[in-house]
Amino acid sequence: MGSNRRNLPGILFAVVSGMLFTVGAVTNRFVFSENDFEPYRYVASVLFVGGGFGFVDLCLRPASTKQNLRQANKLYLILAIGVLSALAIGLMMYGQSLTTSTNTSIVSTAIILTTALFAFLVAKEKPTPNSKIWLPVLFMGLYVATVGVRGFDINTGDLFILAAIVVYGLNNAITKIAVSSFDPRFVADVFWFIGAVLHTSIALFVYGKTFFVTQVFAFVALSAFAGWLNGVASNEAIQRIGANRWISLNITHIVFTMVAALLLLDEQMTAEKIIGAVLIVTAVCKVNQKRKSVAASDTSRGVSVSIDS
């Protein structure tokens, strides 16, 4: 019971990050479907504003910023996260403009696997015992909810998203290490700021000073704010419950996205989507359910076993 209470803030941060992902995804999908400007101009505009949120937040908390910057020997982790995040966000958002929403959803679920892989290789974080059984069920539910019984073709957009989830997996693992030394909010602020610098520089070089898509500024601001806040919530969750458990909860954004798409984008809710959603919720609960009898047995023998990260 005590462990569950300690993990509750991390679980809540993970679920909130999933909701914020939905806000960004639905906003981006609407913008790409209703406008014909170069997709990368929108990507760079969102990163520019998101970096502004991060920079302002750093300035509003000078004491915390200075304290984090004193750890100069570990700042390379922050730089790595910033570059990886900038690359992943750019690939993911650009890919959304080149493929269908169905393919985007199903391809992005593979981030569970890349996060688990890099969390094990980089952060030495082992998956929970239940995840070996229920993560495949989670993936099956996501597949049924988004694709159903039909297959899908790999196109250019899918390849961009596949590349993004590989980068995201490595980024999540490094973030797990970084948030053990740095304030999670500081990490989110800095990676958005670095992303803004990189993508704004590229956009200025390619499009000049007119790169910013002012005609959809409200949507740019909404997507950027949701993305920045998502970074803060995700980092808080990773620090508290680990990268594997965070991604297992965060990936439920597909359920939020289906509901939002039904209400806001007038997409249909099919039996396949409902069945997939049930599988997702069940699998997420099982992945994060502790095997109390095993833990009690090991503890009685004087062995301390941690099945969470």
264-279 pLDDT per residue, tens: 767 666 777 778 777 7
Q: Is 3 a member of any domain?
A: no
In whole angstroms, how large is the CA radius of gyration of the chain? 20
Type of residue at 132: K
Judge whether residue 302 has pLDDT over 60: no
Q: Can you say whether residue 148 is alpha, beta or left, with left for phi > 0 and alpha for psi between -120 and 50 degrees?
A: left
In the structure, what pLDDT confidence band is assigned to residue 251 with cuts at 50, 70 and 90? confident
Higher pLDDT: 46 or 250? It is 46
Percentage of residues in the chain with pLDDT exceeding 70? 77
User: CA 129 from chain center: how many Å?
Assistant: 23
Does residue 62 form part of some domain? yes
- Residue 60 inside a domain? The answer is yes
pTM: 0.77
Q: What number of helices (H) and strands (E) belong to the chain? A: 14, 0
Residue 197 has pLDDT above 90, yes or no: yes
In order of 56, 218, 227, the CA distances from 222 in angstroms are: 16, 6, 8
194: its two tokens: 């670095």
In this structure, is residue 73 part of a structural domain?
yes
Residue 219 lies in a domain: yes
Q: Say if residues 77 and 174 touch (Cβ distance below 8 Å).
A: yes
| Residue 16 located in a structural domain | no
The lowest-confidence range among 51-55, 93-97, 209-213 is 93-97
| Residue 129: Cβ within 10 Å count | 14
| Residue 291 belongs to a domain | no
User: Which tokens belong to 200?
Assistant: 């704004």
Query: Is 97 a domain residue?
Result: yes
Query: Residue 291 and residue 286: Cα distance in Å, rounded?
Result: 10
HSE, side-chain direction, 13 A CA sphere, residue 82: 21
Q: What is the pLDDT of residues 114-164, one digit of tens each?
A: 877 787 787 666 766 777 777 788 777 766 765 665 555 556 777 888 899
Is the model's pLDDT at 185 over the cut of 90? no
pLDDT at 202: 93
Please count the structural domains in the chain. 1
178 three-class SS: helix
Domain of 35 in residue numbering reads as 21-125+153-267
**10 and 240 in contact (C-beta within 8 Å)?**
yes
